[in-house]
Structure 1
Amino acid sequence: MEFKTLANTSIDEILSAFNQSFSDYVVPFHLTREVLISKIAAEKLDMNISVGAFDDGKLVSFILQSEKVENGEKTIYNGGTGVVPESRGKGLVRKMYDFIIPVLKERNANTLLLEVIEGNQPAIRAYENLGFTIVRRLLCFNGSIQQGKENAEVSIKDLNDFQWGLLCSFWDIEPSWQGSVFVLEPMPENYVTLGAYIDEKLVGYIIYGPAAKKIYQFAVDKNYRNRGIGTKLFNAVKERNAGQTIALNNVDESSENTSKFLSEKIGLNNWLSQFEMKRPI
């Protein structure tokens, strides 16, 4: 078994190993080549710090990773770990981390970060044995947006000027990796980004990716809540996407108001929960 980064591994090799690994997952799924390329770009995954296990030259296990520097701390995000069924039980995830951690230390990385489905006990135990600890529980929602009552004084416009300092001031909770400012900056051109205004004042916003049918961020100014602003933003997304089902992943469960709004006002279903886990390098 050989361990090395994925810097010289083709997309098709990674795709084959990815789909084999997740064919019998807790939530089975299958990616196309285009969707994998989009995932790598959207999550800023870096093949130079991603790692694979190769058996006779064939990729049989992988960890896809990205790197973020924020507030002087360098975090390495695990955007996907997989082991093809016939190579399980060989401790490959631990061996891949044993290989890549010295590389990450050379890059002065501080923290490893990942998400794991709440019901996936074998994976949770494996990561705990590797030194990871659960730091928060994240709720995942999906479904069709139910049309809500609108506030006539709220106008919706395309949002082109991302004053992140202002937008972040609307937050109650920190987005997970996929919805972080690091991942969204610069904002992909194909995303729908809308602002809600009252008397020309920005009081809320929403960011939607039509290709993945995902909402990555939404928030309302704390001084303007319970006035139908969030409802109007979701109604606008419903109009733009012709009522297709959407997903909104990784809402911190500590924000009870957000989860209640999504389920009761927007009509989305909390179909899955994940744990965010961290460990120091």
Structure 2
Amino acid sequence: MEFKTLANIDVEELLEVFNLSFSDYVVPFHLTKEMLTSKIAAEKLDLTISVGAFEDGKLVSFILQSEKLENGQKIIYNGGTGVVPGNRGQGLVRKMYDFIIPVLKERQANVLLLEVIEGNSGAIRAYENLGFTVVRKLLCFKGNINSGIGNSHITIKDMHTFQWDNLRSFWDIEPSWQGSVYVLNPMPDTYKTLGAYSDEKLVGYIVYNPDTRRVLQIAVHKNYRKQGIGSGLFTAIADGQPIAINNVDDTSKEAGAFLDKKIGLKNWLSQFEMKRSI
């Protein structure tokens, strides 16, 4: 077995192994080449710090990773780990980390970060054995948006400029990697952002991907809550199709109740965010 970065990997080969690895996952899913390419770009995954296990020159396992600097720490995010069924039980995830961690140390990386589905007890134990600990629980919602909700006294229009210091002041919880400022700045062309305005003052906003029907961020100014602004933003993106919002920190009971009771989405899946120091 040979371990090396994915710097020179062919996307078609990665796609084949990705889909085979997740074909029998807790939540099975299948990507097209375009979807995988979009995921790599959207999550700013860096194949030069991603790692693969190769058997007889063929990729059989991988860890896709990205890197950001935040609050003086260099964080390495695991955007997906996969092992094809025929090569499981060989400790390949540990061996891939054993290979890549010295590389990350040379880059002065400080923290490893990942997400794992709550019901995937085998993966959770494996990551705990690698030194990861759970830092928070993240809730995933999906469904159809309730109709006829919102605030008729606000104006909703496209946003094209992002003063992140101001937008951060709307937050109660920190977004997960996919919705982080690092990923959204600059805003990907495939994403759309709507702002809610009261007398020309921005009082709420929503960032979503119309292609995947997924909300990346939604927030309302603390002084303008419970006035139908968040509901109005969801109504503005409703077109009769189901929508999803992933990785809502479960410590925000207000956000969970809003998405469930007010918007009509259901918490269909939960994940743990896990970290370890390098």
TM-score by length of 2: 0.99
Deviations 1:60-102 (A, max 9, x none): 0000000001121100000000000000000000000000000
Q: 1:177 maps to what in 2?
A: 177
Q: Does 1:271 align with 2:271?
A: no
Instruction: Supply the distance in 2 between the matched residues of 1:127 and 1:278 (Cα, whole angstroms).
Output: 9
Q: Equivalents in 1 of 2:189, 2:85: separation in Å?
A: 38
Q: 1:246 aligns with which of 236, 243, 247?
A: 243
Asked whether the equivalents of residues 148 and 265 of structure 1 are also in contact (C-alpha less than 8 Å), the reply is no
Letter in 2 for 1:72: G
Q: Does structure 1 conserve the Cα–Cα contact (< 8 Å) formed by 2:135 and 2:273?
A: yes
Is the CA contact 2:153–2:198 (under 8 Å) kept in the aligned structure 1? yes
Q: Tell me the amino acid that sits aligned with residue 265 of structure 1.
A: K
Gapped regions of structure 2 (runs ≥ 5): none
Answer whether contact 2:26 2:120 (CA < 8 A) is retained. Answer: yes
Please list every run of at least 4 consecutive aligned residues from structure 1 whose deviation after the TM superposition is greater than 2 angstroms: none
Residue 96 of structure 1: aligned partner:
96
For residues 143-173 of structure 1, give each alpha carbon's deviation from its aligned partner in whole angstroms, at most 9, with x where no partner exists.
1111143322111011111010110000000
Backbone CA RMSD of aligned residues: 0.6
Tell me the residue number matched to 1:44.
Answer: 44
Please give the alpha-carbon distance, in whole angstroms, between the structure 1 residues aligned to 2:180 and 2:107: 22
Supply the distance in 1 between the matched residues of 2:101 and 2:150 (Cα, whole angstroms): 51
Distance 1:81 1:156 in 2: 39
Q: Is the 8 A contact 1:197 1:203 kept in 2?
A: yes
Choose which of 257, 262, 272 in structure 2 pairs with 1:260. Answer: 257
The corresponding residue for 2:210 is 210
- 2:277 equivalent in structure 1: 280
1:106 to partner: Cα distance: 0.2
Corresponding letter in the other structure for 1:275? F
Deviates more, 1:148-157 or 1:98-107: 148-157
Contact 1:194 1:206 in 2 (8 A): yes
Total equivalences in the alignment? 278
- TM-superposed CA distance for 1:190, in Å, is 2.4
Aligned to 2:161: 161
List per-residue Cα deviations over 1:195-246 (Å, max 9, x = no partner). 00111110000001012211000000000000000010000011xxx22111
The amino acid of 1:125's aligned partner reads: R
CA shift digits 1:129-150 (9 cap, x unpaired):
0000000000000111111433
State the distance in 2 between where 1:64 and 1:261 align: 33
Q: Is the contact between residue 154 and residue 229 of structure 2 (CA under 8 Å) also seen in structure 1?
A: yes
Q: Percent identity?
A: 72
Structure 2 equivalent of residue 138 of structure 1 = 138
Equivalents in 2 of 1:280, 1:190: separation in Å? 34
Structure 2 residue identity aligned to 1:277:
M
Q: 2:211, 2:5 → 1: CA distance?
A: 29
**1:115 maps to what in 2?**
115
SS of the aligned residue for 2:246 comes to strand
Q: Where do residues 43-62 of structure 1 align in structure 2 (5 Å cutoff)?
A: 43-62=43-62
Letter in 1 for 2:270: S
Q: Aligned equivalents of 2:5 and 2:174: distance in 1?
A: 30
Q: Verify the 8 A CA contact 1:191 1:208 in the aligned structure 2.
A: yes
Once residues 170 and 138 of structure 1 are traced to their aligned partners in structure 2, the CA distance between those partners, rounded to angstroms, is 19
Whether the 8 Å CA contact 1:157–1:194 is kept in 2: the answer is: yes
Partners of 1:4 and 1:236 in 2: how far apart? Answer: 46
Gap runs ≥5 in structure 1: none
Q: For 2:38 and 2:190, how far apart are their aligned partners in 1? A: 12
User: How far is 1:191 from its partner?
Assistant: 1.4
* Partner Cα distance (2:124, 2:236) in 1: 38
CA deviations 1:165-201 (Å, max 9, x no partner) are 1100000000000000000010012211000011111
Residues in 1 aligned to 2:18 and 2:191: alpha-carbon distance in whole angstroms:
26
For 2:167, what is the secondary structure of its paired residue?
helix
Q: Matches of 1:138 and 1:64 in 2, distance apart?
A: 20
Residues of 1 paired with 2:254 and 2:82: CA distance? Answer: 35
